[in-house]
Amino acid sequence: MQGILSIQSHVSFGHAGNSSAVFPMQRMGFEVWPIHTVQFSNHTQHQEGWTGRAFSADDISELVRGLGNIGALEKCQAVLTGYQGSAEQCLAVEDTVTKVKQANPEALYVCDPVMGAPDKGCIVAPGIAENLLNRLMPMADVIVPNQFELSQFAEMEIHTLDDAINACQRALAKGPKVVLVKHLYCLSDDSFNMLLATSEGTYLAKRPHFEFAKAPVGAGDLISAIFTAGLLKGWTPKQAFQHCHDACYGVLNATYQAGEWELQTIAAQQEFVEPSAHFPLEEVTLSQA
């Protein structure tokens, strides 16, 4: 039985981390083997707080060892990683990806390098950003950063579309074959913008921006999961990006229409199979200025 190994955070209530990523990949037809880096009652934006704890790097390694004992690693089609709770967890992930690729050289590694956001700066514990930038992102086949995380990896500021394209080219030169920028906020606030870059070309996706009273948490985890599943279906990165973009819009639209804060992943599950809206991609190149 083939499957996807998803190593990221988990919440009991709502949809963030594995709670946002696992079901969409299953709904798209894949077995998913989740390993949680932290387990919380709810996401951390609740003003009432949250309960739960982070797991140790040894906890992750122990589960991976068990999967190896039953021959699962050679059947692993992809490793997807998101939020890491410690620098040591990043090292356990690095070791896991190495083991999976030794067992199955065809396996993909998709890294969602959760570090922070423009209004929050770096939100992860000391050492995590360094390990993401210097270890995990360079070894990944696919990276799914936001604009801030891309700027850190490319070591340049991003203020324009040209900057973003240049940053993606720098990122591709460091090892990854595909860069999906899950939120490019240097462009107009009138739309929500994402960018895909490969050696074949660069594509911009725009969709209507929802004025949420409180922005849902877990949308980035949803994006990386749907894109991973699309690639494993044999779609080109461009096709997987188009599907991912449209499907995410559908989930966010359902969330907005329901007046909910938590992503409506279950109610809108048909979006993962057949998105209800379509926003054509635009191929973009560096301006000739």
Could you list the residues known to form a binding site, using ranges.
Answer: 9, 44-45, 112, 144, 149, 182, 221
Measure the CA–CA gap between 273 and 251, rounded to whole angstroms. Answer: 12
Q: Where are the alpha helices (DSSP H) in 29-133?
A: 57-69, 87-103, 128-131
Judging by DSSP bridges, how do beta strands 142-143 and 32-40 pair with one another?
unpaired
Contact present, 21 and 8 (Cβ < 8 Å): yes
Binding-site residue ranges for substrate: 9, 44-45, 221
Measure the CA–CA gap between 289 and 129, rounded to whole angstroms. Answer: 34
Measure the CA–CA gap between 45 and 35, rounded to whole angstroms. Answer: 22
Contact present, 169 and 179 (Cβ < 8 Å): no
Question: Helix, strand, coil: what percent of the chain each, to 5?
Answer: 40, 20, 40
Token representation of residue 168: 């993606």
Binding-site residue ranges for ATP: 112, 144, 149, 182
Maximum separation of any 2 CA atoms in the chain, in Å: 57
